[in-house]
């Protein structure tokens, strides 16, 4: 639809802890820190997240590549490829039952667009947000940076719809404009939120570059509870993680952190070189950038590591189901 105007329950009950950061006593499960223990302050959902189909995520990447190819080679702010990307994502979400809103802003002499998608239900006073910037640099299609995050967040939202998921928190997904110009879209969103609405956002999860071709597995360490949600998940896969140190202030989570909102997220690496120690534990090439096509024309559909994209997409779903406090699903839903 063309943009015209904005717009597992297991037998056990869900054990939801009060608040994200409340020092609620951890659920009486395993000893703190023991495998399978519950990080303090995180709702424990008896409902496991579904697998996010890698093929679906890659199909979105193919669409984003086609959009760039058909629109001068990029999906950059102010170019037709960006608005076409917004329309693609919006069409999928509208068809899946989300309430979408397009927020316009102006920067660099051009109109920018944020796409916000609310999943009906949940406590409107406790909003869990997950997002990714949808724009590329003007040099290329921006498949690693950041169609990867945009596609994974989109497919997770569609999985929520397929499950007709019910959650304790209200779920809100976002695709940001003009990140590459300096976090412009996400900052505009946060600054435009009335303070009462801002206070309702319990956490924002950011996913920028999650399929890098020579990947690392980095977890944001801005909040220990959210960091543990991701670390615990990767530990179940036997994948060691490191804390993310390349990005303080370098992606859209900074817009939220700057106004005191709890943030977390995942990152597979950009222009820094992978060390020998990192190559030993993660595979890939030492002495080579995590993404050697970072901000270059070669950031196309060949510039993705499927294993990293798959693992990170599933980790995103795990976080949404867990932190969102999934309580029930009522079918296969309509998500496409
Ligand atoms: N600013 C992002 C790339 C980036 C660099 N360091 C980090 C750390 C965390 C997330 C993203 C990034 C971009 O160029 O879009
Ligand atoms: Zn970038
Ligand atoms: Zn990025």
Express each pLDDT in 134-188 by its tens digit.
Answer: 999 999 999 999 999 999 999 999 999 999 999 999 999 999 999 999 999 999 9
Q: Number of structural domains, the chain?
A: 1
Q: 181: which DSSP letter? A: G
Residue 44 lies in a domain: no
pLDDT above 50 for 232: yes
Could you say which of 155, 179, 227, 244 is catalytic?
Answer: 179
Residue 207 lies in a domain: yes
- Provide the pLDDT for residue 14: 39
- Provide the pLDDT for residue 41: 54
Between the CA of 222 and the centroid of ligand 3 the distance, in Å, is 18
Q: Which helix (H) or strand (E) holds 256?
A: helix 253-257
Instruction: Return the bridge partners of 165, or none.
Output: 329
Residue 32 lies in a domain: no
Residue 8 lies in a domain: no
Residue 15 lies in a domain: no
**The domain that contains 200 carries what CATH number?**
3.40.630.10
Query: For residue 140, what are the contacts with CB-CB under 8 A and spacing of at least 6?
Result: 68, 73, 74, 293, 295, 296, 297, 298, 299, 300
Over range 262-291, report the average pLDDT: 98
Q: How confident is the model at residue 5 (pLDDT cuts 50, 70, 90)?
A: very low
Between the CA of 250 and the centroid of ligand 1 the distance, in Å, is 5
Rounded to the nearest 10 degrees, the angle between the axes of helix 306-324 and helix 54-70 is: 110
Percentage of residues in the chain with pLDDT exceeding 90? 82
Q: How confident is the model at residue 46 (pLDDT cuts 50, 70, 90)?
A: low
Residue 246 falls in the annotated catalytic set: no
Q: Is the dihedral of CA 300, 303, 210, 246 positive or negative?
A: negative
Instruction: Kindly list the protein residues whose Cβ atom lies closer than 6 A to any atom of ligand 1.
Output: 145-146, 179-180, 208-209, 244, 246-247, 250-251, 267, 270
- Provide the pLDDT for residue 332: 56
Query: For residue 130, what are the contacts with CB-CB under 8 A and spacing of at least 6?
Result: 153, 156, 171, 172, 173, 174, 204, 205, 206, 207, 316, 319, 320
pLDDT above 70 for 8: no
Q: Measure the CA–CA gap between 167 and 324, rounded to whole angstroms.
A: 6
Residue 17 lies in a domain: no
Residue 9 lies in a domain: no
The pair of structure tokens assigned to 88 is 């693609």
Distances (CA, A) of 140 to 79, 291, 293, 294, 300: 12, 14, 9, 10, 7
Between the CA of 95 and the centroid of ligand 2 the distance, in Å, is 29
pTM of the model: 0.89
- Provide the pLDDT for residue 44: 54
Q: Measure the CA–CA gap between 242 and 63, rounded to whole angstroms.
A: 31
What residues make up the domain containing 166?
Answer: 54-328
Over range 39-68, report the average pLDDT: 86
- Mean residue pLDDT of the chain comes to 89
């Amino acid at each position: 639809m063309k943009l015209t105007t904005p717009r597992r329950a297991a037998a056990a009950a869900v054990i939801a802890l009060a608040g994200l950061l409340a020092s609620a006593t951890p659920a009486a499960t395993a000893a703190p820190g023991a495998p399978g223990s519950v990080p303090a302050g995180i709702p424990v959902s008896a409902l496991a997240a579904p697998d996010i189909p890698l093929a679906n995520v890659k199909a979105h990447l193919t669409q984003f590549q086609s959009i760039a190819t058909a629109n001068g080679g990029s999906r950059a702010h102010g170019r037709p490829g960006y608005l076409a990307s917004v329309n693609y994502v919006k069409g999928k979400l509208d068809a899946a039952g989300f309430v979408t809103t397009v927020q316009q802003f102006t920067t660099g002499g051009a109109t920018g667009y944020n796409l916000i998608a609310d999943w009906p239900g949940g406590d409107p006073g406790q909003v869990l947000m997950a997002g990714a910037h949808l724009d590329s640099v003007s040099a290329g299609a921006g498949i690693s940076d950041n169609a990867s995050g945009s596609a994974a967040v989109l497919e997770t939202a569609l999985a929520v719809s397929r499950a007709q998921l019910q959650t304790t928190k209200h779920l809100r997904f976002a695709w940001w404009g003009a990140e590459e110009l300096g976090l412009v879209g996400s900052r505009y969103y946060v600054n435009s939120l009335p303070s009462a609405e801002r206070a309702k956002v319990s956490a924002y999860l950011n996913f920028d570059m999650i399929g890098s071709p020579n990947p690392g597995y980095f977890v944001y360490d801005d909040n220990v509870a959210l960091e543990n949600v991701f670390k615990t998940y990767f530990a179940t896969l036997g994948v060691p993680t490191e804390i993310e140190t390349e990005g303080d202030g370098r992606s859209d989570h900074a817009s939220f952190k700057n106004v005191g909102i709890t943030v977390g997220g995942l990152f597979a690496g950009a222009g820094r070189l992978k060390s020998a120690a990192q190559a030993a534990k993660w595979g890939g090439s030492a002495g080579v950038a995590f993404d050697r096509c970072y901000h270059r024309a070669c950031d196309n559909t060949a510039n993705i590591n499927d294993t990293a994209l798959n693992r990170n997409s599933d980790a995103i779903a795990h976080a949404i189901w867990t932190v969102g406090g999934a309580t029930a699903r009522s079918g296969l839903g309509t998500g496409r």
